[in-house]
A and B are shown apart, each in its own frame.
Chain A
Amino acid sequence: MTLNRHLTGWLMALPLTAVLAVFLVLPIIMIVVVSFWGATEWSIYPAFQFDNYEFLLTSNVTYRVYFNTLKYAVITWAFTLIIGFTVAYFLAFHVRTLTWQIALFLLCTIPFWTSNIIRMISWIPFLGRNGLANSALMSWGVIDEPLDWLLFSDFSVILAFVHLYTLFMVVPIFNTMMRIDKSLIEAASDAGASAWQTLWHVIVPLTKPGIMIGTIFVVTLVMGDFITVRFMSGSQKANVGRLISNDIALLQYPSASATAVILLITVLMVIGLMLRFVDIRKEL
């Protein structure tokens, strides 16, 4: 009987294990292996050497690009957190009926009915030199000539990131907030807490696991992205993802692999650090 149950358990875990092994573990092993290979301008050859890593870790460019990537991640994280928390708070605590909560929540997901890239590109005519934003501002008399930093700048990159990824913050925070017992809010007001005190001393601490899950989503998505940065900066800004994509475009697979390995390690370290502060197991 016990043997049987063990066997059933293993069998049930088998399909997922197989999928992960073939499509996740194996490719990562491949990447790690290739990252030690050598390359010339026209060929790559199997080897075990640290040239790629040496070049990467001693290059000034790497550090500037990593700094830029982290800057995007931190700023995007801050904006998505503020917007995501506010939206989730509104949905969970101000919308009274479940029907309206579900309806408004679905409304938030409507942008996801089209592809990422289309949503991103649709900013370009809006933000451009002769775009809607500039012409509106000029016709209101706020500015005399078009703002250049609206498009193909850090501003437009971060704007697109925030637009694309805020929902990844809303969903886990909303989910955690819905599990907060409403009588805790009453207990806080019974103890004389003002609305802000209730928010800071009761709701925020109890929402931490949701905030952390949202943070992991946003940080990993931003750090791994290359297409948003390329389109929204008009190829004028770089992040680690673009470094990898450029290497691949030049068929420099060993160098691309080494960069990917370092990026993976960096992201895992960031997540590991965050998980030390907040226990998210209750949410899983």
Chain B
Amino acid sequence: MNSFWNGKRRFVALLMFLAGVFVALRVPPAIPFIQLPGENFPEGYNFPITDIRLTNTMVGAVIVWVLLLLFVVYVSRRRPKDGNEVPPGGFYNMFEMLFEGLMGFVGGIAGGRHFRLIFNMFMTIFLVVLLANWMELVPGVDTIGFIHPHVKEKYDPVADEYKAVTTDGFEIYQGFLGFSYVNAQCDWISPADEATADEMALANAEVAAMAARQTLIEDEAYERYKAEHGGHDDVEHAEDDHAGEAGDDHGDRAEDAGDTGAVAVARQEALDARTAEKQARRDRGCYTGVAVSSWEDGYEPADKEKKKEPIPLHPDPASEEAKRVPWVVLPFVRVPSTDLNMTLTLALISFVMIQYIGFKALGIGYLTKFFNFGTLFKSPLGGIDVAVGLLELIGDFAKILSFSFRLLGNIFAGSILLFVMSFLIPILPWPFFILEFFVGVIQALVFALLTAIFMNLATVSHHHDDDHDHAEAH
């Protein structure tokens, strides 16, 4: 240990520590932004060929598969073909040690007729979950990604206007004509809010109607301004005045919105300009980088007056007003075990394998474990057997829930812990990384071990041939 820290390594460590201090002082840490479902990538980042939007947990899962495949190829290539070869060392040896140790471990639990199948399932689940869990320790996972303002727009039916809200749904400003910033297309932050095509069409129609109404209001204000300051110059103004006289009533004006002449042209131009602006905002929607920026004066402006000011939806990151916006990062890669989809899938696979091995070992008689009517009329306690069987049935389905939520809860809580600790003590969050290292191993082991044990239990009959099976196992 001592010799490890001699020489240059000491200085490298010191340098990294100083860099940590410098970064922690210089750059405000990103606000921990916590979202339970996997975050959707912005539009255009689809899963290849299909139109399924990628999520960052999906990317993490793909990385896990690729790594696992690479390991498999590596291990099967390095495997000595005969006993005469030089014993392999290094990375390969680690796998050999792992497999040997766990083979003995599982053999002690489920070393029966079905050991091969059980061990294969155990090892597959163990490696997948282990790699997935350890991804949270890799720097850059959960921290490097698209940077976007922590803002989106939500239609408020009561006030009949669009309001900017944070992605949690909290309003951050009120009373501003938000709809000129409506950007239904960029609603990719929360998958729950993703609109269907019909809803999108409806929203677009709504937006168009509001834009038209806004144009009317603006025209009216313009004309009032003209009337106050005297419209005397040229033909265009005369026409404007004429239009103002002709349509005192709003409804009338709305109906003859398509009138010819300069007004219509101007209106069209204004609409075009607004559309172009909207498109520009939409294009500017997402940035790529590392999360370094946070809201300068906290989550909420301390200044009451400042709170009233509208916060732009997609501000230029270089501008002054961008400092008032809470910026969050949408990571490229997130730990796949923090997504219920992944853990639930694994739990379902495990559940199916448990039932499969049960049927394989006991045939159709496996069902008597759940529907045990054989003793109903034979023994006085037959009813209890039936109830126990039904309880087993419910318990088997509860396994899916408990498997998936155990892994999800542990790893999600772990990554929140790492996130918050890196936020609170940016220089020294290492102890928590060590903790999470062990939590990752234990959870992978527990998931795989429980699968192995339940598979082993499913192969054991409940009836009199119990002893026979046990005798075979030992």
> Is B a genuine binding partner of A?
no
A interface with B by C-beta (< 8 Å): none
B interface with A by C-beta (< 8 Å): none
